[in-house]
Amino acid sequence: MKTIQDDTLAVRISRALAERIISGAIEPGAKLRQDHVAAEFNASHVPVREAFRRLEAQGLVVSEPRRGVRVAGFSPQEVREVAEMRASLESLALRHAFPHLTPAILDAAEVMVRAGDQAGSVQAWEEANRAFHRTILAPCAMPRLLGAIDDLQAASARFLFSGWRAEWDAPTDRDHRAILLALRARDGEKAATILARHVQRIGQSGHAPMPPRRPIGVR
């Protein structure tokens, strides 16, 4: 029988493995061996199996009869699907969040935009990017919607990290600034439209686009 301690350990294991999968440290197709994971985390197989179930629900792994659990790959179609779902769900969340967005929340979101501009790595940029989205969407106070968005954003991060091969140069995110400008002008519909367009770019070419690089000399 599962215990509260098992559940807590399962969450910790699933988060640790998710971070490795999203960052590309564990590549698509790699097999996750239950006994190896249990040994690493000094755990029984019960929380490991629960961690695998959590990862499967996020779309990060697949479980196959008699073949075990392996890291899920992704196709151009999946990239487009995630982009379309994010565009719909995030614009919905923003419309519900809009009446509750205070100047302090928008100031916090602007801090995240600046953090992205100054990011020293693609990982730091992605963290700031995700924090920006979370900051403006959280006031919708719809936990299930936000949970679904979190899972989709994790998938988007995977696409980003899998495609990044160039030397890093932090981008300037004009869309985020345009969203903030619309929100400060109290034009929630315009902000939601910009947000949807911003997210849909992920799927336009069927693969994850890299953040746009600044021209040399531009800061």
Which domains occur in the chain, in start order?
Answer: 4-71 (1.10.10.10), 76-203 (1.20.120.530)
Q: Which pLDDT does position 187 carry in this prediction?
A: 98
Q: Which pLDDT does position 135 carry in this prediction?
A: 98
**Tens of pLDDT, residue by residue, the chain (219 residues):** 455 555 689 999 998 998 888 878 888 889 999 999 999 999 999 999 999 999 988 888 888 888 889 998 878 888 889 999 999 999 999 999 999 999 999 999 999 999 988 888 888 888 899 999 999 999 999 999 999 999 898 888 888 777 654 445 555 678 999 999 999 999 999 999 999 999 988 666 444 444 444 432 333
Place of tokens 């989709």: 152
- Report the alpha-carbon distance of residue 80 to residue 14 in Å, rounded: 25
CA distances from 71 to 14, 26, 38, 55, 148 (A): 13, 8, 17, 9, 20
Buried b (16+ CB within 10 A) or exposed e, 145-165: bbebbebbbbbbbbbbbbebe
